[in-house]
Amino acid sequence: MSDPAPEPTTETKPAPRLVTTDPAAPTAPATPRPPARRRRRLLIAALPLALALGGGYAWVTGGRYVETEDAYVQQDRVSVMPQVSGQIAEVNVAENQRVKAGATLFTIDDASYRNAVEQAQARLASARLDVERLKAAYDEAVAEADTARDSFETARTQDDRQQKLLGSGVVSQSAADDSALKLQIARGAVTKAESALVSARASLAGDPAITTDRHPDVLEALAALHAAELDLARTRVVAPDDGIVSQTDRLQRGQYVTPAVPVLSLVAAGDSWIEANYKETELTHMHPGQRAEVTVDTYADEPLTGEIASIGAGTGSEFALLPPQNATGNWVKVVQRVPVRIGIDAGQDLPTLRAGMSARVSVDTGHARGLPGFVSAALAAVGLGAATADTAGTGASAATGDR
């Protein structure tokens, strides 16, 4: 048995209301705007204002820390060159080996230099013997001069006697003449002996009691011996400082080297510093002694502290091999960079630094930008200059605390 069909339902729709507009009819009061819309408009207006105030505050209190990424680790680099010529006998170091000051880098064949030392020693011994001979010759000259003087006195006494006897007619004229001739010969012998004595004294540098090793000839021989010994010592080339040697692959046994020609390099790793190339416009308030923070790219999590040691005497372009010439018609002004040397503080646990590593440097100049000149003048005119200065100072102090 099937279910009965549902009965149809009829809905009654309300009749539409007819609104009549009567000018004389009173109007309903306006609905007030919700508060959410008002707050939204206030926020829209306050956001740019807050950004402007925040940006202005950051500008006024900023500029104290000057940063650059154009900075590199620098270390002393020494070009090692031999001071004597010869063939390399032995190479004692390898490429990139760390060495201590005084360690032997390589040696030069020293056979000829040892021979030169032996020859210099022989010349020194001969010079000492010559001085002893000169002293003996001086003693002999002294004795001969004394003998000549005694002979002269005897001849003069005999001549006086002969002259008296000649006046008495006891002796002949010829005997008196012989006596006068002997006196003249004795006088000449004295002159000759005294000249020989002066010469013997001069050969001893004017000092008959001079010690052997103070004689000029001996001093010259000693100097030649010292030079020969120095050349012999220089056949052993040593490291001038602690560091790492490089370019040792160019050294081979049997290779002939000459003085003043570099054969390898040594990087002195014991003393490192940072060379930061700052723009010339960033040096206004920068001077030696200001503190700096250094971050080497290789060790980004290990910042180092230091201070400005010196500021370059000129821009990098001024010390270039070919300095630019700007006296041309197509000149364009380019901001130049000046090298600033940053010394790393001692006592830090320094990582292994290598020359040429990139770094980032931040220098505390202690000087904030402050308000522009026209703004400061306007605020001073209305009596707000001191308050503005205090605000800038407070901001700089807060920035220091944040750092």
pLDDT in tens, 131-164: 999 999 999 999 999 999 888 888 888 888 888 8
pLDDT bucket at 401, cuts 50 / 70 / 90? very low
Q: Quick: pLDDT tens for 287-309.
A: 999 999 999 999 999 999 999 99
pLDDT in tens, 73-131: 999 888 899 999 999 999 999 999 999 999 999 999 999 999 999 999 999 999 999 99
**Interatomic CA distance for residues 150 and 178, integer angstroms:** 19
CA nearest neighbour of 257 among 94, 106, 117: 106
What value, to the nearest 5°, has the Cα angle with vertex 40 and ends 35 and 46? 125
Tell me the domains of the chain and their CATH numbers: 60-76+269-369 (2.40.30.170), 82-109+235-257 (2.40.50.100), 113-230 (1.20.120)
Instruction: Give residue 1's pLDDT.
Output: 41
The pLDDT assigned to 60 comes to 63
11 or 114, which is more confident? 114
Exposed (0-12), middle (13-18) or buried (19+): which is 54, by Cβ within 10 Å?
Answer: exposed
**The pLDDT of residue 391 is above 80:** no
Q: Give the least confident one: 214-218, 312-316, 362-366.
A: 312-316
pLDDT above 90 as % of the chain: 41
Residue 166 makes CB contacts below 8 A (sequence gap 6+) with: 172, 173, 175, 176
Helices (H) then strands (E): counts for the chain: 6, 12
Distance CA 276, CA 261 (A): 32
More confident residue, 45 or 62: 45
Whether 374 shows a pLDDT value over 70: the answer reads: no
- Per-residue pLDDT tens over the stretch 54-79: 776 666 666 788 999 999 999 988 88
Q: What angle do CA 8, 14, 16 make, to 5 degrees?
A: 140
The full DSSP string for 63-128 is -SEEEEEEEEEEEEEEEE--SS-EEEEEE---TT-EE-TT-EEEEE--HHHHHHHHHHHHHHHHHH
pLDDT of residue 292: 95
Nearest partner of 396 among 373, 377, 369, judged by Cα: 369
Antiparallel, parallel or unpaired: β 358-364 and 291-296: antiparallel
Q: In what order do the strands lie in the sheet with 86-91?
A: 236-238, 104-108, 86-91, 256-257
CA dist 391 and 64 (Å) reads 15
Residue 39 has pLDDT above 80, yes or no: no
Query: 148: how many CB neighbours lie within 10 A of its CB?
Result: 21
Question: Tokens 């999590």 — which residue?
Answer: 301
**What residues have CB less than 8 Å from 305, skipping those under 6 apart?**
291, 292, 293, 294, 344, 345, 348
**How confident is the model at residue 376, as a pLDDT?**
66
Question: Given this model, what pLDDT does residue 31 score?
Answer: 53
Buried b (16+ CB within 10 A) or exposed e, 365-396: beebebbeeeebeebeeeeeeeebeeebeebb
Q: 3-state class of 131 per DSSP?
A: helix
What number is the average pLDDT over the span 372-401?
Answer: 56
Neighbours of 211 (CB within 10 A): 9
Instruction: State the Cα–Cα distance between residues 163 and 151, nearest whole angstrom.
Output: 18
pLDDT at residue 400, rounded to an integer: 44
Q: Measure the CA–CA gap between 70 and 277, rounded to whole angstroms.
A: 6
How confident is the model over 390-399, as a mean pLDDT? 47
Q: In 246-384, where does DSSP find H-type helix?
A: 373-381
- How many CA within 13 A on the CB side of residue 36? 0
Predicted local confidence at residue 402, as pLDDT: 45
Confidence band (pLDDT; 50, 70, 90) for 9?
A: very low
Displacement of CA 94 from its chain's centroid (Å): 27
Nearest to 79 by CA among 269, 270, 354, 264: 264
